[in-house]
Amino acid sequence: MAFGADRVVVTGVRAKTTPAATSSISLHNGGQAAVQVTALAIGGIAQLTLGPSGVAVTASSAPIGGTPLFQIVNPPSLPTTLGPGADLAVTVQMMTTGANLPAAPTNKDLGVTLLTASLSATASSGSVQATVYGFLLIQDNYEATLGQILIALGYKLNVGQAQNNWNPNTSMMAANLPGIESGSDEVAAPHFVKAGTGNVTMTLVARFSPAGVLPYGWYPATSSTTLNTVGTMSMIADAQTSDKARMVYPPLQAGSSTTFDPGSAAFGIWVFSDQKTEKYAEGGNTINGDYDYTQDALNSPTGSVHRIKSYPLKDSSGARIAQQYLVAVEEAGNGDYQDYVFVLGNVNAAP
Tell me the average pLDDT across 74-91: 96
Average pLDDT over residues 116-129: 95
Q: What is the pLDDT of residue 240?
A: 98
Instruction: Give dist(CA 13, CA 251) in Å, integer.
Output: 19
pLDDT 10s digits, 153-185: 999 999 999 999 999 999 999 999 999 999 999
Domain ranges of the chain: 2-137, 169-349
CA proximity to 324, closest of 343, 350, 351: 343
Mean pLDDT of 312-316: 98
pLDDT tens readout for residues 22-53: 999 999 999 999 999 999 999 999 999 999 99
Using one digit for the tens of pLDDT, what is the confidence trace for 324-350? 999 999 999 999 999 999 999 999 999
Within a 13 Å sphere around the CA of 224, how many CA atoms are in the beta-carbon half?
13
**Pick from 84, 90, 79: nearest CA to 124:** 79
On whether the pTM is more than 0.95, the answer is: yes
Please say whether the beta carbons of 219 and 228 come within 8 A.
yes
CATH number of the domain at 2-137, please? Answer: 2.60.40.10
Contacts of 168 (CB under 8 A, 6+ apart): 109, 161, 162, 334, 335, 336
What does the pLDDT average to over 312-322?
Answer: 98
Q: What is the pLDDT of residue 90?
A: 98
Q: Is the pLDDT of residue 201 over 90?
A: yes
What is the per-residue pLDDT for 281? 78
In sequence order, the 6+-apart residues with CB closer than 8 A to the CB of 24 are 8, 89, 90, 91, 92
Query: Other CB atoms closer than 10 Å to residue 75's CB: what's the count?
Result: 15
